[in-house]
Amino acid sequence: MDLGLKGKVAAVTGASVGIGLGVAEAFAREGAHVVMAARGEERLAKEADRIAGDHGVRALPVACDVATAGGAERLAAAARNTFGGADILVNNAGTGSNESIMEAPDEKWQAYWELHVMAAVRLARAFVPMMRERGGGAILHNASICAVQPLWYEPIYNVTKAALVMFSKNLANEVIKDNIRVNTVNPGLILTPDWIKTARQLTASAGGDWEAYLQTVADEHAPIKRFGTVDELADFFVFLCSDRASYSVGSTYHVDGGMLRTI
């Protein structure tokens, strides 16, 4: 299926590893140029060079922290100065948390609010005008199944991801008049380097069978009985940002192997 993305420009945050890297590469496979944002400059530059070489597109690394106003401005300026803007924005940067509500300080709540919510707000304000100038575009937010089915040990993550889903819906209603489509994806268990790292740490003192540990997690939570791959999720992201999904507006899609327990 030709997704019609050749020559388009896609900006992806959190793009140096895991889901963000997979999404950037999936766009590049479709012939789109990519603006890749992450905090780690060296790793980001290496991956951008590899993607450009492998797929014959331009891959622009932008080292910045999108959880700050300055970082969001830096990313938007790089897209405008290099490509004249962007057609697609994927807000992917984020990370899990681990705390109790009674013990977590205000500072931790604020840090996650800046990363999961305000980054999306600021980037919308920066990228929507550029998309409007280009005749339209697509914005996709990577939230989490935890936005609707919370895990007990990360209340801050659950709350801020839920807020991101609501922000996405409101933004969708506001900018569809500009031919800009906004949607959200709530992934379930996706096999990222962070999951593997955690599994290795948790099993180090008991023989190190991290794969068996991850299988127990999948058996407990996902009816499909396995983790999803980054590529499986990335392909869905790219489809939603293409004109093949032109009637998808303000929706939230679960890619979770059946993990969600409600309808």
Could you give the residue numbers annotated as active site? 157
Contact present, 42 and 36 (Cβ < 8 Å): no
Give the separation between CA 241 and CA 94, rounded to whole angstroms: 20
Residue from 263, 19, 233 nearest 149 by CA: 263
User: Tokens representing 257?
Assistant: 């192997």
Within the chain, residue ranges assigned H as helices are: 18-29, 41-55, 69-83, 106-113, 119-133, 155-175, 193-203, 210-221, 230-240
- Distance (Å) of CA 252 to CA 46, 176, 184, 214: 33, 16, 5, 26
Give the separation between CA 54 and CA 242, rounded to whole angstroms: 22
Give the separation between CA 157 and CA 194, rounded to whole angstroms: 16
Residues 6+ apart with CB under 8 A from 125: none
For the sheet containing 180-187, what is the strand order?
59-63, 33-38, 9-13, 88-91, 137-142, 180-187, 252-255
